[in-house]
Chain A
Amino acid sequence: MDHSASLAPPGVEHLNDRDEETSVSASRHQRAGELFLSALEQPPAERLRFLSDACADDAAMLEEVKSLLNAHGTADHFLTTPIVNAAPAPLDEETRVLERTAPLVPCVTIDQKYRIDRLLGKGGMGAVYLATHVGTTRTVAVKVINPEYAVIEEFIARFRREAAAAGRLRHPNIVNVTDFGVADVAGTQLPYLVMEYLDGHTLGDYLKQHGRMPLDRVLDVVDQVALALDAAHAAGIVHRDLKPDNIWMESNRRGGYNVKVLDFGIAKSVAREEEADQGNVTSTPASDSAAELPSGETITICRVPNQPGETGDLNTRLGTIVGTPAYMSPEQCRGTPVDYRADIYSLAVITYELVAGHPPFQGATVAELLSQQIEAPVPSPRKFDAEISKPIAAAIMRGLEKSPADRPVSAGALAALLRAVVEGEFSVLRKGKDTFQSYPSVFAPLWIAAFAPIFLLGVAAVPVLFQVSKLNIVPHRWLVIGFYVVAIGA
């Protein structure tokens, strides 16, 4: 072994040889690395400000992290492709996939039961995959929570508990949860949820495409969502994150939609039930796109750590995931405990948006939106569209009462109220139409056109008739009288 001395492996035992100076620079290196990663999570425009704040008293650290950020930006394939590897740049792609926090890749079989086919979608909290149940070859949807959330045991426990609750719900308007488990993926425990695979699209997609929905269809959708909510509420489960993106629409063969509510209980599992500290509340988007207002995204509301400037560890950052600001009830926005009536509020917001084309509040920032939900008077939907009748506007706004006690007593009650006012209007219209139809307007001109000449002829015939009778021309007399009778009959 002539080369063994020169080839001493860099072993873990070298750690002990560190002198004090090395350990100081090692801890600075670690701190720089953490700041670098935190800065990467900021939108590019805000990185410098973020770093200046974080390194206010340490100019050397600021320079170190800035140089790391610069180096990160350089496009260079060196290092990203393993040396002596024929495959072109596989690490880039792989890293990208993991950084997108999509924790699974196609063809992987999790728990020896579900073969992952492809990624269907990804949100701030996790990802949904199209998968095949190996035993039955049935197509299913598998939902996995982001690994960064999945590492917290309390989180897994809640996820499990709520998955059980969702599994207990069997309702035609609630997506069917068939399985739950914790898969070991490359050493990480990943809780997953298996659901029936649905064709179609979300109500959110529909709104993006059409802007708003015809009234009769709104009634149908709201009815079905209300059935789902009432069933869940009866089972003691509150959705807490009801929004158009969580309402699935499968076209049925009758030209309508079968509506299914998604993510039942999952939102609750990530929400903390304790009250948030009064006033001391800030918000961070759970998604990567920190620059955009996440009004459509489920957001994390967390308590600010005691020291200002401290970013807080993962547990604190996880905090309380309350819902989606645009659809959140005032009590949710305040961080106070919520019950089923929060879902009624969210359903009313959705109804509002379907009818008016806009949700009631459209704050520019999350904080503004939250304060609007809490205290701003709800603008009438007629503000967006004066064609919406007053009774319909009033019915929707009943569900948007700030105090839960003032809202309709159940989701079904809200739907029924809405149906009553809408159908009330429809029946008025129908009645008006019915009375008009007894004089068939379309045919009236035809009748007049057909019989007017006969009638006129008959009138003209009267003096002639008298003349004829005087002249005693008998054969024509009965003919003229017949004419007359026909004209009167018409």
Chain B
Amino acid sequence: MTPLEPTPGQITQLLVSLQEGDPDAANRLFPLVYDELHRLAASYMRRERPDHTLQATALVNEAFLKMVGNDAVEFESRAHFFGIAAAVMRHVLVDYARSRAASKRGSNVKRLPLDEALVFSDEQSEQLIALDEALQRLAKLSLRQAKIIELRFFAGLSIPETAKVLGIAPRTVVREWTIAQAWLRRELST
């Protein structure tokens, strides 16, 4: 999708800009991470056993290593990257669910590269689309709770990792995570 592969330097520069408060940096970073995750997911599927399910965390980690590298990166940059990667994973997966739902209805949507990587049931696809919509509503009420769900559910980050990314205490993550789950479950059940 992108003609040129971004160099680690570029990515790091974008992360630094993001950290300095440049809102455009996120918009430029996002598609780069998106493409990288797609590429990685495809290569994963080629070399892994067919019954092996995709590991979201491993994928995001590998994307980070490949795009940014491991050394001389500010801790905050790393956190920003994971924050963005989680959002990317969410879009990748929701896109996939939408395309699947659309193809069921007979529309001829281009298959996404993740098709082969993910084994979703129709039910899961619908759940995922509903979740995405509910998350958009939740973000208006509590951006932090929406972000926690994104990091935990879509990027598979642990509670301590989520706490690091958001710069809050693990205890707070647990509290907000509990609230957000109850809220989403209620929204999804009605």
Contacts and interface: CB of A to CB of B under 8 A. Distances in A.
A188 B170 contact: yes
A85 B59 CA distance: 10
Nearest to B171: A147
Contacts of B147: 10
Contacts of A386: none
A74 B128 CA distance: 18
A7 interface: yes
Determine the main DSSP class of B at the interface with A: helix
B185 A76 contact: yes
Contacts of B153: 79, 82-83
A283 to B, nearest CB: 24
Contact of B23 (A11, A25, A29): A11
Contacts of B186: 67-68, 70-71
Interface string A70-89: 11101010111011111000
A187 B142 contact: no
A36 interface: yes
A68 B154 contact: no
B26 interface: yes
A69 interface: yes
B33 to A, nearest CB: 9
A270 to B, nearest CB: 18
B149 interface: yes
A91 B140 contact: no
B182 A85 contact: no
A76 B1 CA distance: 37
A30 interface: yes
B15 interface: no
Contact of B170 (A22, A68, A186): A186
Contact of B141 (A14, A26, A83, A187): A26
B159 interface: yes
A98 interface: yes
B181 A4 contact: no
Given A9-B30, A25-B141, A188-B171, A83 B182 contact: no
12 contacts: A7-B34, A7-B91, A33-B183, A36-B182, A72-B185, A74-B189, A79-B131, A82-B56, A83-B128, A86-B54, A95-B174, A98-B170
Given A82-B57, A187-B163, A188-B171, 12 more contacts: A3-B31, A8-B30, A9-B88, A11-B23, A22-B140, A29-B183, A82-B56, A84-B53, A95-B177, A148-B171, A188-B169, A188-B170
